[in-house]
Amino acid sequence: MKTKKGTIDEKVNDQAAAAIQRGIDEKLGIMEIRSLNGIQIKQQEEDIFRITASTSDVDRDEEIVEPSGVNNLDFYLKYNPVILFAHDHWTRPPIGKAVAGQVKPRSLELDIEFAPTPFAQEIKSLYEGGFMNSFSIGFIPVKREYTDEGIAVYTEFELLEVSAVSVPANANATIQRALEGACQKGLEFPIMESIIGRNESKRSKPEPKGESAEKRRILSLADVYLNQGEKQ
């Protein structure tokens, strides 16, 4: 039978051991991540990249995919959190996985980990070196509206995957390397926005008329889903 004093001593010892372990982890650059099923794992901090997967800005296809419209983020993170390269799920395996995610007022953010495969590590090195910076989402539209200017706004969608890309449709869907560096120097996000601009859909030259094949595919899918909803 444990005495009260023995119980207190054990508790103090446990707390001390935990504090020592946290100190060791901090020195090694290890952080703790809580998975969706409650199991805690430890991960090297430098292996996790925070990215902006999508924002509510007008993209280069003159469309808006509202981050708040994602209807399956928990399901995506728990069951199939794939990160692809250039939306290619036919010829290449995933290059990574999303380990956490959150929807903010104007953005969808993910914490991602690159796979230990040679190609995935090559892509990771391109992001680390600043040779690649952008991401893009693959999704199925569920609900779509139009602004007075004729811009399509996807207010609900199913997230299928997130891809590492060289040139994204949404210019603001990027790795948060530059933003984090600015915050470390004491710059807050609104100030950072005023310095670099929000990069809305302003262009120096008008783009040629016509729709890309990807845009036509998405609009076609949207029409199918919307028509199904109207018939029900």
Same domain, 47 and 73: yes
| Residue 215 within a domain | yes
Q: Point out the catalytic residue in the list 62, 87, 158, 201.
A: 87
The per-residue pLDDT for range 57-91, each reduced to its tens digit, is 999 999 999 999 999 999 999 999 999 999 999 99
Instruction: Give pLDDT tens digits for 15-44.
Output: 555 655 555 455 444 444 333 333 333 444
Give the model's pLDDT for residue 218. Answer: 54
Asked if residue 127 and residue 81 are part of one domain, the reply reads yes
161 is catalytic: yes
pLDDT interval class at 223 (50, 70, 90): low
Q: Do both 49 and 97 map to the same domain?
A: yes
| Least trusted range by pLDDT, from 27-36, 94-103, 137-146, 154-163 | 27-36
Q: In one letter, which amino acid is 10?
A: E
State whether 110 and 162 are in the same domain: yes
Q: Is the pLDDT of residue 52 over 70?
A: yes
Whether 24 and 47 share a structural domain: no
Residue 47: what pLDDT? Answer: 81
Same domain, 99 and 163: yes
Whether 136 and 162 have beta carbons less than 8 Å apart is answered as yes
Whether 204 is in a domain gets the answer no
- Are 26 and 48 found together in one domain? no
Task: Check whether 8 has a pLDDT greater than 70.
Answer: no
Summarised one tens digit per residue, pLDDT across range 84-113 is 999 999 999 999 999 999 999 999 999 999
Residue 205 lies in a domain: no
47 and 13 in a common domain: no
Task: Over range 185-211, report the average pLDDT.
Answer: 38
Active site (annotated) includes residue 87: yes
| Shared domain check, 172 and 92 | yes
Secondary-structure percent of the chain, ordered helix, strand, coil, rounded to 5: 35, 30, 35
Number of separate domains in the chain: 2
Same domain, 28 and 61: no
Domain of 165 in residue numbering reads as 43-199+210-231
pLDDT of res. 28: 45
**What is the SS3 assignment for 206?**
coil
**Catalytic-role residue among 54, 56, 136, 163:** 136
DSSP class of residue 68 equals G
106 and 160 in a single domain? The answer is yes
Reported confidence tier of residue 157, pLDDT bands at 50, 70, 90? very high
| Dist CA 135 CA 111 (whole Å) | 12
CB 55 within 8 A of CB 135: no
Q: Are residues 68 and 22 in the same domain?
A: no
Q: Is 54 a catalytic residue?
A: no
Residue 63 belongs to some domain of the structure: yes
